[in-house]
């Protein structure tokens, strides 16, 4: 398995600019998620890496091998990629076994050893091999699709929103199985998704994409805690954004004076607080607030609160066992450092 | 697949050629009317004879459409929504008249009693032949209906009849109207049955004009009026389809509505269904059997039978191959390269669906005599007529087949190392094969029992099962005609059964 290097990659469809100069390093043996809203160009990026489409400019290299540069491109069938499209796209006329071994040389197709290994890898029972795709559940189909992609030992595995057609529970468990199988196979994988939970929970590296550009590349923790700008902050999770004045390593905002991550700064700006950083304390220190709507999820709850006397409304995430009653007066404190964005003030989100 | 590409030129050229061939009859009718001049055309059209034919055709068509709608819907409801005993058997028997060409049904009746000649008899026989065209789509819709809708209506206080009238019937409307319009189109094209029943309509009049008086002008103008009638029906169909909303079924197994208990009504319902089956199948097939015995006792024409069967099968195979070959580029273009040009080309291949065989034949005769004299009276010209008439059936099936072979499967195979040839062999062709085969089978079946165009276009000395049957009937030698009819029914029965069976599974 090799890493993947993308440099200044561009592609337009007619007058629509799908990719505008993308640079990305995908480390070997790790799962990188491209996260972005629909229409941001992430699927185009995947299809360019696969070789189904040719770029207008830029290069793509698998390890040291340039597979795509302006004048030459290696066709998809010789790139040694594994491709898992939406809804799996299993060949409906072939049994699971024949689907999985489709990409193997014809001599190897008859050997059951590789098939057994792959079924094992994606945690499917060996009896599944004789079934047809329509006899499988959505999650099983997706796992067969992964096994099929991994069978020929590809250098890079590409996954195009592979879990979007599954329902919430299945999405989580199938995602975990797939990520484990990819790790076990030591695969370099590129996962395209619009679901931030999926990206944060499955990937080793997250690349956030917007309007044909990558706006931030980093570990899931870094992207969540220190997003590049307020839009990324809102896209990767719930965010409380408040106007603030930064002085040195502190920021003054409606929730008090908070300590700031990173180097010292100065001037007007915005502060990002994640809802789970806001703690509700009954009495004592903290900023007074009036409890509004409480949305209960069981394991946790979100609480909308208006900072007294007439401050903005902020949302906190609290444990499901300790939800305050609407209409009560509470005090708020903020745990841990916060991230600030320089520039003009924006209303609280 | 190539989202950013233009239409591939070679494919486009092929499709344009196919579309032009399919448009020959329509271009001919319009062109002929224009070249004749408005005055001359008007004189030929506004005649008492034309008025008489128009009244005959219209009253038969409307009567048959209404009867088919009532009969088809009632039968479908009884078989698919009640606890009528033996529903599986009744479903097959009620769909079976599709396998018997209308001219064979009318032969069965005429050879038993002369009382069926004239309007009443013609109405009875065409209704018995064509009601499955309403029965099948209505049955499919009834089976696909979400029972939750009816249950919701019941929960809102409607009784079972009111719920049926206000919730179920409106949902059946597209199927009933669509099926009835199809009946109308078939009826406008029907020739053999009506000629045998001595009920003159446009088709029989065109044939008589052409055959007995060789009056090409009058025949062509009658064809023009007939095409106008078809256009009216087709416009109604298009309007209907534009408003139709297709119920989207979930991927899970659809819940089946609990059947209505007939109770004391079981016996009358059984009698009614039995009556329909006896009239539509029993009488024609019974009399066919009787004439078979009569014919066999005199001289069984084994040689001619084998020869005409061979000719019909050969023509059927060639037409199926040719039509499918024409359908593949059109279907491929319309599925893989969506756009205004491709959908226009696809639609133009559907013209044949609305044009009676007699118009297609007349157009090809006139065009070939005028422009390509050597083609007149050749098997090639007959095959082109079949292609024009049955291209829609092939395109519909092949289109579904191409849609089966989704581009994403191609992408996956591509990524797994399969080159162009290998992808075609291992993915695209296996996926398309069933649909393409079904389309070819539909064309084959239609050709084997085709009468009108074959009568007019077959080269001298070429006799098919249908034309040989026709000439024996004309000589009132029913015993000699029976074996040909029986063979046609035998050939088309299994395929019709399979087609209704797939229709049942897909709903």
- Residue spans of the domains in chain A: they are 4-232, 238-342
Partners of B416 on chain A (C-beta within 8 Å) are 77, 82-83, 102-103, 148-149, 151-152
Task: Give φ, ψ of B300 to 5 degrees.
Answer: -85, 115
- What is the pLDDT at residue B494? 78
- What is the pLDDT at residue A349? 38
- What is the pLDDT at residue B214? 66
Please give, rounded to a whole number of angstroms, the shortest distance from the CA of B61 to a CA of chain A.
44
Partners of B431 on chain A (C-beta within 8 Å) are 91-93
Q: Does B401 have pLDDT greater than 90?
A: no
Task: Give φ, ψ of A209 to 5 degrees.
Answer: -120, 140
Please measure the distance between the N-terminal and C-terminal CA atoms of chain B and give it in whole angstroms: 30
Contact B68, B133 (CB under 8 A): yes
Is the CB of A93 less than 8 angstroms away from the CB of B431?
yes
Residue B225's nearest CA partner among B241, B246, B209 is B209
Task: Give φ, ψ of B475 to 5 degrees.
Answer: -85, 10
Is the CB of B415 less than 8 angstroms away from the CB of A148?
no
Please give, rounded to a whole number of angstroms, the shortest distance from the CA of A181 to a CA of chain B.
19
Query: What are B414-462's pLDDT values in tens digits?
Result: 888 888 888 888 998 888 888 888 889 889 988 998 999 999 999 988 8
Contact B134, B68 (CB under 8 A): yes
Q: Quick check: do A4-232 and A238-342 share a fold?
A: no
- Chain A, nearest residue to B3 by Cα: A13
Give the pair of three-digit tokens for residue A310. Answer: 């007439």
Three-class SS of residue B119?
A: helix
Q: Which CATH number is A238-342's, of 3.40.50.2300, 3.30.470.30, 3.40.830.10, 2.40.50.140? A: 2.40.50.140
Partners of A148 on chain B (C-beta within 8 Å) are 412, 416
Which carries the bigger pLDDT value, residue B195 or residue B492? B195
Q: Which CA distances in Å does A12 have to A71, B338, B339, B463? A: 17, 20, 20, 61
Residue B178's nearest CA partner among B128, B134, B113, B122 is B134
Helix (H) or strand (E) holding B484: helix B478-505
CA distance B203 to B180: 19
Contact A272, A235 (CB under 8 A): no
> CB count, 10 Å around CB of A298?
6
- What is the pLDDT at residue A282? 76
H, E, C per residue of chain A: CCCEEEEEEEEEECCEEEEEEEEEEECCCCEEEEECCCCCCHHHHHHHHHCCCCCCEEEEEECCEEEECCCCECCHHHCCEEEECCCCCCCCCCCHHHHHCCCCCHHHHCCHHHHHHHHHHCCCCHHHHHCCHHHCCHHHHHHHHHHHHHCCCCCEEEEECCCCCCCHHHHHHHHHHHHHHHHHCCCCEEEEECCHHHHHHHCCEEEEEECCEEEEEECHHHHHHCCCCHHHHHHHCCCEEEEEEEEECEEEECCEEEEECCCCEEEEEEEEECHHHEEEECCCCCEEEEEEEEEECCCEEEEEEEECCCCCEEEEEEECCCCCCCCCEEEEEECCCEEEEECCCCCCC
Task: Give φ, ψ of A212 to 5 degrees.
Answer: 80, 5
Q: Does B278 have pLDDT greater than 70?
A: yes
For residues B56-85, average pLDDT: 92
Q: CB contacts < 8 Å between A and B, how many?
A: 63
- In DSSP terms, A300 is beta-bridged to A319
CA distance A191 to B84: 55
- What is the pLDDT at residue A191? 95
- What is the pLDDT at residue B299? 66
- In DSSP terms, A243 is beta-bridged to A270
Partners of B419 on chain A (C-beta within 8 Å) are 77
Answer whether B430 touches A (CB < 8 Å). Answer: yes
Per-residue confidence band for B148, with pLDDT thresholds at 50, 70 and 90: confident
Q: Which CA distances in Å does A315 have to A6, B218, B450? A: 39, 84, 75
Give the pair of three-digit tokens for residue A100. Answer: 């999985």
For residues B66-74, average pLDDT: 95
The residue whose two tokens read 């719920």 is B163
Best mutation target, A74, A99, A102, to test chain B (most B CBs within 10 A): A102
- Any idea of the CA torsion for B76, B82, B87, B88, to the nearest 10 degrees? 80
Contacting residues for B251 by C-beta, under 8 A, at least 6 apart: none
Partners of B414 on chain A (C-beta within 8 Å) are 51-52, 75-77
Best mutation target, B6, B251, B417, to test chain A (most A CBs within 10 A): B417
Out of A34-43, A226-235, B164-173, B484-493, least confident range: B164-173
Fold of B47-243+271-285: MetI-like fold (1.10.3720)
- What is the pLDDT at residue A224? 94
Helix pair A138-150, A112-121: axis angle to 10 deg: 130
Query: What are A139-159's pLDDT values in tens digits?
Result: 899 899 999 999 988 889 999
Please measure the distance between the N-terminal and C-terminal CA atoms of chain A and give it in whole angstroms: 43
Is the CB of A91 less than 8 angstroms away from the CB of B427?
yes
Helix pair B216-243, B9-36: axis angle to 10 deg: 130
Partners of A102 on chain B (C-beta within 8 Å) are 413, 416, 418, 426
For the residues of B252-284, what is the DSSP string, one character each? Answer: SPPPPPPPBP-GGGHHHHHHHHHHHHIIIIIHH
Is the CB of B416 less than 8 angstroms away from the CB of A93?
no
Which carries the bigger pLDDT value, residue A4 or residue B400? A4
ipTM of the complex: 0.75
Q: Which residues of A touch B (CB under 8 A)?
A: 13-14, 50-53, 75-83, 85-86, 89, 91-93, 102-103, 148-149, 151-152, 158
Q: Does B505 have pLDDT greater than 50?
A: no
Q: Which CA distances in Å does A266 have to A245, A247, A270, B51? A: 8, 5, 12, 95
The residue whose two tokens read 């094969």 is B433
Sheet containing A65-68: give its strands across: A16-26, A4-13, A57-62, A65-68
Task: Give φ, ψ of B409 to 5 degrees.
Answer: -65, -35
The residue whose two tokens read 């009504």 is B265
- What is the pLDDT at residue B502? 54
- What is the pLDDT at residue B252? 40
Answer whether B411 touches A (CB < 8 Å). Answer: yes
Q: Does B403 have pLDDT greater than 60?
A: yes
Strands A256-259 and A250-253, by their bridges, are antiparallel
Per-residue confidence band for B210, with pLDDT thresholds at 50, 70 and 90: confident
Task: Give φ, ψ of B266 to 5 degrees.
Answer: -55, -45
Residue B385's nearest CA partner among B25, B39, B133, B73 is B25
Three-class SS of residue B82?
A: strand
Contact B377, B426 (CB under 8 A): no
CA distance B416 to B422: 11
The CATH class given to the B1-25+299-474 domain equals mainly alpha
Q: Does B390 have pLDDT greater than 70?
A: yes
Q: Which CATH number is A4-232's, of 3.40.50.300, 3.50.50.60, 3.40.50.620, 3.30.110.60? A: 3.40.50.300
- Chain B, nearest residue to A47 by Cα: B411
Domain ranges in chain B with CATH number 1.10.3720.10:
1-25+299-474, 47-243+271-285
Q: Which CA distances in Å does B123 have to A316, B58, B116, B409? A: 77, 12, 9, 51
Per-residue confidence band for B499, with pLDDT thresholds at 50, 70 and 90: low
Q: Does B1 have pLDDT greater than 50?
A: no
- What is the pLDDT at residue A239? 92
Residue A46's nearest CA partner among A162, A182, A187 is A162
For residues B95-102, average pLDDT: 89
> CB count, 10 Å around CB of B129?
27
* % of chain A beyond a pLDDT of 90: 48
Per-residue confidence band for B500, with pLDDT thresholds at 50, 70 and 90: low
Percent of residues in chain B assigned helix, strand, coil, to nearest 5:
80, 0, 20
Best mutation target, B416, B418, B437, B505, to test chain A (most A CBs within 10 A): B416
- In DSSP terms, A313 is beta-bridged to A306
CA distance B319 to B375: 17
Q: Does B211 have pLDDT greater than 50?
A: yes
Contacting residues for A88 by C-beta, under 8 A, at least 6 apart: A133, A138, A141, A142, A144, A145, A162
Task: Give φ, ψ of A69 to 5 degrees.
Answer: -140, 170
- What is the pLDDT at residue B39? 84
Each residue's pLDDT expressed in tens, for chain A with a length of 349 residues: 578 999 999 999 888 889 999 999 999 999 999 999 988 999 999 999 998 888 999 999 998 888 888 778 888 888 888 899 887 888 888 899 999 999 888 888 887 888 998 998 888 999 999 999 888 988 899 899 999 999 988 889 999 988 888 888 888 888 998 899 899 888 899 999 999 999 999 999 999 999 999 999 999 999 999 999 999 999 999 999 999 999 888 999 999 899 998 777 788 889 999 999 999 887 778 899 999 999 998 888 999 999 987 779 999 999 888 788 899 999 999 998 999 988 754 444 3
Residues constituting chain A: 349
Q: Does B218 have pLDDT greater than 50?
A: yes
């Amino acid at each position: 398995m090799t890493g993947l290097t993308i440099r200044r990659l561009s592609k337009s469809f007619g007058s629509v600019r799908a990719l505008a100069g993308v640079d990305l390093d995908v480390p070997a043996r790790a799962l990188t998620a491209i996260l972005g809203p629909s229409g941001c160009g992430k699927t185009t990026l995947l299809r360019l890496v696969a070789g189904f489409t040719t770029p207008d400019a830029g290069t793509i290299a698998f390890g040291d091998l340039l597979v795509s540069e302006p004048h030459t491109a290696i066709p998809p069938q010789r790139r040694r990629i594994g491709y898992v499209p939406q809804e799996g796209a299993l060949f409906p006329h072939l049994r699971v076994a024949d689907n999985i071994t489709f990409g193997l040389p014809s001599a190897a197709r008859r050997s059951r050893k590789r098939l057994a290994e792959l079924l094992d890898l994606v945690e499917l029972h060996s009896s599944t091999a004789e079934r047809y795709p329509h006899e499988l559940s959505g999650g099983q189909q997706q796992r067969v699709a992964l096994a099929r992609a991994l069978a020929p030992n590809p250098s890079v595995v590409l996954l195009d929103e592979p879990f979007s057609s599954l329902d919430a529970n299945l999405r989580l468990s199938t995602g975990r199985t797939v990520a484990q199988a990819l790790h076990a196979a030591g695969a370099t994988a590129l996962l395209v998704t619009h679901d931030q939970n999926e990206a944060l929970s499955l990937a080793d590296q997250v690349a956030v994409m917007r309007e044909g550009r990558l706006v931030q590349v980093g570990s899931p923790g870094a992207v969540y805690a220190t997003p590049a700008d307020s839009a990324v902050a809102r896209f990767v999770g719930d965010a409380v954004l408040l106007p603030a004045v930064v002085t040195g390593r502190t920021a003054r905002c409606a929730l008090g004076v908070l300590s700031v991550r990173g180097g010292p700064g100065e001037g007007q700006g915005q502060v990002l607080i994640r809802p789970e950083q806001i703690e509700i304390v009954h009495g004592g220190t903290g900023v007074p607030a009036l409890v509004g709507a409480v949305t209960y999820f069981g394991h946790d709850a979100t609480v909308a609160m208006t900072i007294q006397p007439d401050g903005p409304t902020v949302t906190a995430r609290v444990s499901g066992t300790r939800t305050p009653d609407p209409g009560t007066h509470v005090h708020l404190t903020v745990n841990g450092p916060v991230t600030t964005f320089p520039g003009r003030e924006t209303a609280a989100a | 697949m190539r989202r950013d590409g233009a239409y591939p030129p070679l494919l486009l050229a092929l499709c344009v050629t196919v579309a032009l061939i399919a448009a020959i009859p329509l271009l001919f009718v319009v062109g002929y009317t224009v070249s004749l001049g408005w005055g001359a055309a008007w004189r030929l059209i506004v005649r008492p004879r034309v008025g008489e034919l128009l009244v005959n055709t219209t009253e038969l068509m409307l009567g048959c459409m209404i009867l088919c709608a009532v009969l088809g819907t009632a039968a479908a409801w009884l078989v698919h929504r009640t606890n009528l005993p033996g529903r599986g058997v009744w479903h097959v028997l009620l769909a079976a008249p599709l396998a018997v060409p209308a001219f064979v049904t009318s032969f069965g009746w005429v050879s038993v009693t002369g009382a069926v000649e004239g309007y009443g008899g013609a109405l009875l026989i065409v209704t018995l032949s064509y009601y499955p065209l309403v029965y099948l789509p209505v049955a499919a819709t009834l089976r696909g209906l979400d029972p939750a809708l009816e249950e919701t209506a019941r929960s809102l206080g409607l009784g079972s009849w009111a719920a049926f009238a206000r919730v179920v019937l409106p949902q059946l409307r597209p199927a009933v109207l669509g099926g009835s319009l199809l009946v109308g189109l078939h009826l406008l094209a029907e020739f053999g049955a009506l000629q045998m029943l001595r009920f003159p309509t446009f088709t029989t009049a065109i044939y008589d004009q052409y055959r007995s008086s060789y009056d090409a002008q009058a025949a062509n103008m009658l064809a023009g009026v007939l095409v106008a009638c078809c256009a009216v029906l087709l416009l109604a169909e298009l309007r209907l389809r534009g408003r139709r909303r297709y119920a989207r079924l979930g991927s899970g197994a659809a819940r089946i509505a609990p059947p209505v208990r007939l109770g004391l009504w079981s016996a009358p319902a059984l009698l009614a269904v039995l009556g329909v089956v006896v009239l539509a199948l029993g009488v024609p097939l019974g009399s066919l059997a009787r004439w078979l015995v009569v014919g066999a006792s005199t001289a069984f024409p084994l040689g001619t039978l084998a020869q005409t069967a061979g000719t019909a099968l050969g023509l059927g195979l060639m037409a199926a191959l040719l039509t499918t070959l024409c359908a593949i580029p059109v279907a491929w273009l319309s599925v893989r390269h969506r756009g205004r040009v491709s959908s226009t080309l696809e639609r133009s291949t559907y013209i044949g669906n609305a044009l009676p065989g007699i118009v297609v034949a007349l157009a090809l005769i006139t065009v070939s005599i005028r422009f390509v004299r050597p083609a007149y009276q050749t098997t090639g010209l007959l095959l082109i007529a079949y292609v024009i008439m049955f291209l829609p059936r092939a395109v519909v099936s092949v289109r579904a087949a191409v849609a089966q072979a989704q581009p994403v499967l191609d992408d996956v195979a591509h990524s797994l190392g399969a080159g162009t040839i290998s992808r075609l062999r291992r993915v695209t062709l296996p996926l398309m094969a069933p649909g393409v085969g079904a389309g070819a089978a539909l064309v084959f079946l239609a050709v084997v029992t085709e009468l009108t165009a074959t009568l007019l276009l077959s080269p001298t000395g070429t006799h098919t099962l249908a034309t040989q049957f026709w000439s024996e009937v004309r000589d009132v030698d029913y015993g000699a005609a029976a074996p040909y009819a029986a063979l046609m029914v035998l050939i088309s029965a299994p395929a019709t059964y399979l087609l209704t069976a797939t229709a049942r599974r897909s709903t």
